[in-house]
Amino acid sequence: MTTSTIAPPPHRPSRQVRHSLILARRSLAKTSRNPGAIVNGVVTPALFLVLFLYLFGTAIAGATSDYLQYLFPGILVMGAGLTGLVSTGTNINIDLKNGITDRFRSLPISRLAPLLGSVLADVVRYLAAAGVLYLIGTLLGFRAQGGFAAALAAVGIAVLFGFCLSWITVLIGVTVKSAEAVLAFSFLTFLPLQLGTSLATPATSLPGWLASWVGVNPVSAAMDACRALLNGTPAGDRVTTTLLWCAAIFLLFCPLAVAAYGRRE
């Protein structure tokens, strides 16, 4: 056959990124018609923000305004985790079910592209959610005291953290049988991972067993890092710890998810 000598274009990184962006746009086009993911990324964290603020604010910090400065950065990180939690895993699972994935997998594109596309779309969704959350926080009286650059860095860390955390849901999405199971599995991890943190109160004020979990929980590190950056307080090793966690989660779960996606029968 005369064309046998023509090699397919290699999976150059630029091609992979371009395909991922095309598929991210697809994912976003679907979201704009089904805005549940953003609503969830905004409404749940906003509810926790208002609830915690007025339930515990005075008790924990003496005044709601002081507590808001403590609480809000954690809420921002929670939003990042939740946006990806609900959209990516479920969307990928639905695609697997209805046959779109078979079409993608029979195209000459990298197996990474559909997954990366979905997670990149999450980043956009999260930025939208973060914008709304930030507006709510500002209306309630939150002020970033670390300066504009530090505030941007805080949002950047939250987004990066959300991006890396999404790969766990991606792996669940490509492995688990149904979208309902993805949701159930995801929400099981919500309580220990998102609430078992320094979100509402510093780890030092907690009983020993809980304090040690909160101490090792990577979500705590991200919340602490954001809190320090937004309030202009010393971050210690929390930024480094967060970045290391991000790298570890990404490097472990991204290859696992891509491999599972390629193997899925």
Size of the site for other proteins (CB under 8 A): 29
Using rule CB under 8 A, residue 109 touches other proteins: yes
Q: Which of 43, 61, 105, 243 binds other proteins (CB under 8 A)?
A: 105
Q: Which of 51, 63, 107, 216 binds other proteins (CB under 8 A)?
A: 107
Using rule CB under 8 A, residue 9 touches other proteins: yes
Q: Which of 3, 13, 14, 148 binds other proteins (CB under 8 A)?
A: 3
Using rule CB under 8 A, residue 152 touches other proteins: no
Q: Which of 47, 54, 62, 102 binds other proteins (CB under 8 A)?
A: 102
1/59 with CB nearer other proteins: 1
- Side-chain half-sphere exposure of 233, counting CA atoms within 13 A: 10
- The answer to whether 86 touches 183, Cβ cutoff 8 Å, is yes
- The answer to whether 197 touches 220, Cβ cutoff 8 Å, is yes
Using rule CB under 8 A, residue 24 touches other proteins: no
- The answer to whether 12 touches 113, Cβ cutoff 8 Å, is no
**CA–CA–CA angle 225, 83, 77 (5° rounding):** 10
- The answer to whether 155 touches 123, Cβ cutoff 8 Å, is no
Using rule CB under 8 A, residue 100 touches other proteins: yes
Per-residue burial over 13-49, b if 16 or more Cβ lie within 10 Å, else e, is eeebbebbeebbebbbebbeeeeebbebbbebbbebb
Site string for other proteins, 113-132 (x = CB under 8 A): x-------------------
* Least separation in angstroms between CB 80 and other proteins: 24
* Least separation in angstroms between CB 254 and other proteins: 20
19/238 with CB nearer other proteins: 19
Using rule CB under 8 A, residue 61 touches other proteins: no
Using rule CB under 8 A, residue 204 touches other proteins: no
* Least separation in angstroms between CB 34 and other proteins: 7
The single residue listed with the structure tokens 């987004």 is 159
The single residue listed with the structure tokens 């991922």 is 20
Amino acid identity of residue 108, one-letter, is P
Footprint on residues 206-265 left by other proteins (CB under 8 A): 265
Helix residue ranges per DSSP H, the chain: 13-33, 36-61, 64-98, 100-105, 112-140, 148-175, 179-190, 208-216, 218-231, 238-263
Q: Determine whether 130 is exposed, middle or buried from the number of CB atoms within 10 Å of its CB (0-12, 13-18, 19+).
A: buried
> Taking contact as CB under 8 A, which single stretch among the options 80-88, 103-111, 127-135, 190-198 is the one that binds other proteins?
103-111
Report d(CA 53, CA 43) in Å as an integer.
15
> Taking contact as CB under 8 A, which single stretch among the options 38-46, 101-109, 157-165, 240-248 is the one that binds other proteins?
101-109
Q: Which residues bind other proteins (CB under 8 A)?
A: 1, 3-4, 7-9, 15, 19, 22-23, 25-26, 29-30, 33-34, 98-100, 102-109, 113, 265
